[in-house]
Structure 1
């Protein structure tokens, strides 16, 4: 069933993704193209931006590479379709995949949902996780008691609960930075919201 607000939503569009990529990535191979995987043994290295065609990507990956048990997210600025991105994240959990960030990993926005879907979530010191609010057409900042924002909050908080993450993390990300900005999580914030299954000590 289609989301009634779908046509009104512009969630981290192309321009916003470019801003995020500039903010969080400092190398030419930023991975801001379409979603792709580089399989090496039991690990699949993940790059790029998710979109409306991404929802079945993890299922296809596992069908073709059943030995893969860990997604290593590398350079991922976010998504251009938040609903499909959540479906993709849920398929990460359905396939019982672990997620990991290496010291030079850079993920932001919708890519954070993919990371949080891991059954075991670990990261190396030096990795960066960027969060911010989201926008829709004609509304660039959060508006209390707006039905569209409220529906988005319910979906995101429900997802976080299902992943075993403190749902308060959603409001934190919404308030941490505007849609055109990016807040890089500190080790203290990562541990505060239990984003990792093993506490970070950096």
Structure 2
């Protein structure tokens, strides 16, 4: 199976840390210096993006769930490294897919929770079916889960077959809502965010990107290129008083030609994990693992301010924590222009 999961794992822990605006802030006293020269680095070379997106779309087309003879598409909701599962939406509700994200291997577990999944945060199951005798095989890029699902109330059993590959995770679960020349972004950023952003900017006149509730990115490699789409389009980014953005969401906010902030909005930053077993804040400032992020922030904030802001973020909080930037810090590190 072709692996992009290492790119995903950089931000998996970040989503767990940043998914709530109730995370406590930590004090920050950065003592870092800015390197004078940094080579341009990309996790995905700009010229390779069309092929990358095409491969993603081909993988997405293979995602499916067959339940009692009925076929349904599946889409990402959330995941847990600690509890080793991925949550996905399907036509009748939510399916919990066993998967060890750290070891990059499947766990023979499926649990089906039927109900209205249009608002996953307030989901309530009306029926639960437990997977039994689940077997997992690999076929090229796909993991194939087969077995039965048993209704926990009636004990009726139904055949199930689920096809899953990495595109389920790396696509994210974000939404873009357009109203006039303003678009509002929310959810978890990923490859689908790039596709949606590109299509929106190609088809409509948008001047401002508003951040509703962005909990992070599951694919930093493409997320930085999503930021470049925002910059190339000349968009203003706006953090409203009731908005929040964490981790990769802050990266996208930084892409605005103008970056506006209303008191009360939350911009949360922290380190990422990991390179050679070490989180970013434990690597030397000249470590090559910083290359792609430094390239990005130099583009968005300038050769001096960009690296200063990046090194501030990775020292502000550990990868499994979050630091909500104060208004003084937003000004000090030039994240806000107005």
| Same fold at TM > 0.5 | yes
Q: TM-score, normalised by structure 2?
A: 0.50
Q: Secondary structure at the match of 1:74?
A: strand
Q: Secondary structure at the match of 1:104?
A: coil
Q: Secondary structure at the match of 1:56?
A: helix
Deviates more, 1:78-87 or 1:150-159: 150-159
Question: What is the CA deviation profile of residues 48-91 of structure 1, one whole-angstrom value per residue up to 9, with x for unaligned ones?
Answer: 11123332322111223x22110001100110111110010011
Partner of 1:156: 293
Partner of 1:119: 257
Partner Cα distance (2:269, 2:313) in 1: 6
Partner Cα distance (2:178, 2:17) in 1: 29
Q: How many residues of Structure 1 are paired with residues of Structure 2 in the alignment?
A: 185
Partner of 1:42: 181
Residue correspondence of structure 1 range 61-80 to structure 2 within 5 A: 61-64=200-203, 66-80=204-218
The answer for unaligned runs of 5 or more in structure 1 is none
- Say whether residues 1:60 and 2:218 are aligned partners: no
Deviates more, 1:33-42 or 1:168-177: 33-42
- Say whether residues 1:171 and 2:169 are aligned partners: no
The answer for unaligned runs of 5 or more in structure 2 is 24-120, 123-171
Partner Cα distance (2:268, 2:235) in 1: 22
Partner Cα distance (2:19, 2:283) in 1: 28
Higher helix share: 1
Partner Cα distance (2:6, 2:180) in 1: 42
Partner Cα distance (1:191, 1:145) in 2: 26
Shift of residue 140, structure 1, vs aligned partner: 5.3
Partner of 2:224: 86
Name segments (4+ residues, structure 1) moved above 3 Å. 5-9
Partner of 2:283: 144
Q: Secondary structure at the match of 1:180?
A: coil
Q: TM-score, normalised by structure 1?
A: 0.82
Bigger Rg over Cα: 2
Deviates more, 1:159-168 or 1:95-104: 159-168
Aligned CA-pair RMSD: 2.4
Partner of 2:19: 21
Shift of residue 6, structure 1, vs aligned partner: 5.8
Question: What is the CA deviation profile of residues 85-143 of structure 1, one whole-angstrom value per residue up to 9, with x for unaligned ones?
Answer: 00100110011111101100010000111101011110100001000000037735333
Partner Cα distance (2:19, 2:201) in 1: 28
Shift of residue 24, structure 1, vs aligned partner: 4.5
Partner of 2:326: 186
Shift of residue 159, structure 1, vs aligned partner: 1.3
